[in-house]
Chains A and B, each alone.
Chain A
Amino acid sequence: MDTLAPDQTRADAHENEAELTRQHAREQWSLLSLVIPALLTIAFVVLLPVSWLFYLSFTGDDGGFSLENYQRMVEYKSYYRIFITTFQVSILTTLICIALGYPLSFFLAQLPPRWAGFFMLAVLLPFWTSLLVRTYAWLVLLQRQGLLNELAMHIGFWSEPVKLVHKMTGTLIGMAHIMLPFLVLPLYSAMSKIDKDMMHAASNLGANPVRAFWSVYFPLSLPGMVAGSLIVFILCLGFYVTPAVLGGGRVIMVSNQITAILENQFDWGAASALGVVLLVATILILYLAARFFKFDAALFGRN
């Protein structure tokens, strides 16, 4: 039988292989092109405008490069106060959310799935409801003649109506209510993945339930809690609506100041500089957290 020369076969095989690689590459590129429309939309709405603001923040009154917008931030006391308020509100909201969210997530994670799904609606219903509507509800609940004041006076916590809204208290209550689902959802998901046998093993080895919780369950739930707290904290930093409505001008966070600058002075440089600082702080916190905890899996749901 006439066989092909060995050289010939090898050359064919090479060509085949090269063609396959080319096809594979073509396929990968055509698949990749599917992201282009989404990418263009985001580039036009987010990347381009934010870069523009970045540029504006480094532009002085004369149109040249200048650091005056940032310099003002260091020099003026009012800016300092705004950053302090922003961090204070964000930290306190996160702490309130942990205090309320941890027991709630623990409760949900202990339930059989069917019941957990039902009680989860208590977290999901507010989560899906407009933030504006919930802020409005708190505005009504917390006012002087509101339900909360009347209830507290009825029970006897205080005898005179207390001012709760248009100050820090009301802002924190409203923000904690809005942010709580953002903590519970990742925390619950982390808790429900904890192997039940771990707790059995702990109690088999003689740990009482309290000890078993603190030395086994709690450390295992920590990544979910950190991820949830981080989401809450980052979202709080950029909050606008709730402090504007429930703070009544007394709780001024970075976002509120940015709008105030644009409304009153129309100073794009100053507003952009504040925005850039907010963005850099956000990215820095995310970056550091990712470094320390390696949980972008928990954050972005990627494995």
Chain B
Amino acid sequence: MSWFHRPATDTQITHGNRLWLYVVAAVIMLLLVIPTFIVIPMSFSDSQYLEFPPSVWSMRWYEEYLGSTKWMRATTTSFKVGFLTMLLATPLGTMAAYSLFVSRHRANRAIFLLLITPMIVPVILIAIGTFYVYGRVGLNNTITGLVLAHSALAIPLVIIVVTAGLRSYDLSQEEVARSLGASRVKAFFLITLPQIRFSVITAALLSFLTSFDEVIVAIFVSGGANATLTKHMFAALRDYIDPTIAAISTIMVILSSALLLLTQFLGSKGAKKR
């Protein structure tokens, strides 16, 4: 019996009956993936106009990017802010997730709702609101202000990822450690944290990326010498099409794909261990 006539599930459907589904799914997946990666070949074009496929290949837009003070400074800012956001949001979010998971407090549900407001409130509101408040306290165009805002956006993600990790971990192990005399802090760091470390690392990478890719808050709150990569890119996209963006986009696509594959790898390692 060929694959075509073999049943696809335990019902009567064969792979042949289902061919349409495979074709439709393949087309949709291509539609999802191609626009994500199309910037890579585009960035090696020699033309002023964005063309695909490029008629002449060159590295000229990468040279342009690497030679520009504006883009280099923005890249440094974006990496710095992303890194600091990761360092702030990960511990804060992990602490909150642990607290909400372990304690049985009446207020927990309300607290959880407050903690995920950054996901519910439209980002434009957060952007103009922080711009207004930062204007009063002098945080506009500062790294500190941007890191705080991006951390608030990242904390709900950290909480969700770490909570999922805690859920698949048996908390009684920590109780055993405590009944043997370890303090809660010691039990957390020695027993719980190592077991949920894959979730925590995923959460950290996610918070870096949240900050690195964030556009709207950065447009309002960052500026001057501390403008981010995304702020400059957005301005460039709106006003004129500068092929340098294709080179920068390529770097961003490769960075996020690498981080995603890293989390997938960590995830499968974490699953195997269990």
Contact stretch, chosen from A9-17, A44-52, A73-81: A44-52
Chain A contacts for B35, CB-based, 8 A: 126, 134, 137-138, 141, 177
Size of interface on A: residues with Cβ below 8 Å to B = 91
- Check B133–A48 contact: CB distance below 8 A: yes
Min CB distance A161 to B, Å, is 14
- Check A141–B257 contact: CB distance below 8 A: no
A103-B21, A136-B237, A300-B116 are contacts. A32–B103 as well, Cβ < 8 Å? yes
- Check B129–A301 contact: CB distance below 8 A: no
8 Å CB contact of A136 from B24, B39, B212: B39
- Check B92–A38 contact: CB distance below 8 A: yes
Chain A contacts for B129, CB-based, 8 A: 46, 48-50, 52-53, 275
CB pairs A–B below 8 angstroms (13 shown): A28-B103, A32-B103, A38-B155, A48-B129, A53-B125, A126-B35, A126-B36, A129-B257, A130-B249, A133-B253, A136-B237, A145-B49, A145-B51
- Check B98–A279 contact: CB distance below 8 A: no
- Check A244–B238 contact: CB distance below 8 A: yes
Digitize B145-188: 1 where CB-to-A-CB distance is under 8 Å, 0 elsewhere: 00011011001000110011001000000000000000000000
- Check A240–B51 contact: CB distance below 8 A: no
- Check A38–B115 contact: CB distance below 8 A: yes
Chain B contacts for A282, CB-based, 8 A: 120-122
Min CB distance B92 to A, Å, is 4
Chain B contacts for A268, CB-based, 8 A: 132
Q: Residues of B at under 8 Å CB distance from A?
A: 8-13, 17, 21-22, 24-25, 28-29, 31-33, 35-36, 38-39, 42, 49-52, 88, 92-93, 95-96, 98-100, 102-105, 107, 111-112, 114-118, 120-126, 128-130, 132-133, 148-149, 151-152, 155, 159-160, 163-164, 167, 209, 212-213, 215-216, 230, 233-234, 237-238, 241, 245-246, 249, 252-253, 256-257, 259-260, 264
8 Å CB contact of A200 from B11, B111, B148, B256: B11
A103-B28, A107-B22, A139-B237 are contacts. A46–B11 as well, Cβ < 8 Å? no
How many angstroms from the CA of A240 to the CA of B33 in the assembled complex?
23
Q: Residues of A at under 8 Å CB distance from B?
A: 28, 31-35, 37-39, 41-50, 52-53, 56, 100, 103-104, 106-108, 110, 117, 119, 121-126, 128-141, 143, 145-147, 177, 180-181, 196, 199-200, 202-203, 208-209, 212, 234, 237-238, 240-241, 244-245, 254-255, 258-259, 262, 268, 271-272, 275, 278-279, 282-283, 286, 300-303
Chain B contacts for A133, CB-based, 8 A: 36, 39, 249, 252-253
- Check B11–A34 contact: CB distance below 8 A: no
A41-B152, A122-B29 given; 6 more Cβ-contact pairs under 8 Å: A38-B93, A107-B22, A125-B257, A209-B11, A255-B124, A301-B164
Chain A contacts for B17, CB-based, 8 A: 209
A39-B115, A147-B38, A241-B234 are contacts. A136–B28 as well, Cβ < 8 Å? no
Main secondary structure of the interface of A (DSSP, over half): helix
How many angstroms from the CA of A301 to the CA of B101 in the assembled complex?
13
CB-based A-B contact count at 8 angstroms: 271
Chain A contacts for B151, CB-based, 8 A: 41, 45
- Check A45–B125 contact: CB distance below 8 A: no
8 Å CB contact of B149 from A45, A106, A203: A45
- The chain A residue sitting closest to B257, CB to CB, is A125
Chain B contacts for A49, CB-based, 8 A: 125-126, 128-130, 132-133
How many angstroms from the CA of A121 to the CA of B32 in the assembled complex?
10
- Check B128–A238 contact: CB distance below 8 A: no
How many angstroms from the CA of A50 to the CA of B132 in the assembled complex?
10
- The chain B residue sitting closest to A34, CB to CB, is B99
A128-B256, A209-B13 are contacts. A32–B99 as well, Cβ < 8 Å? yes
Min CB distance A147 to B, Å, is 5
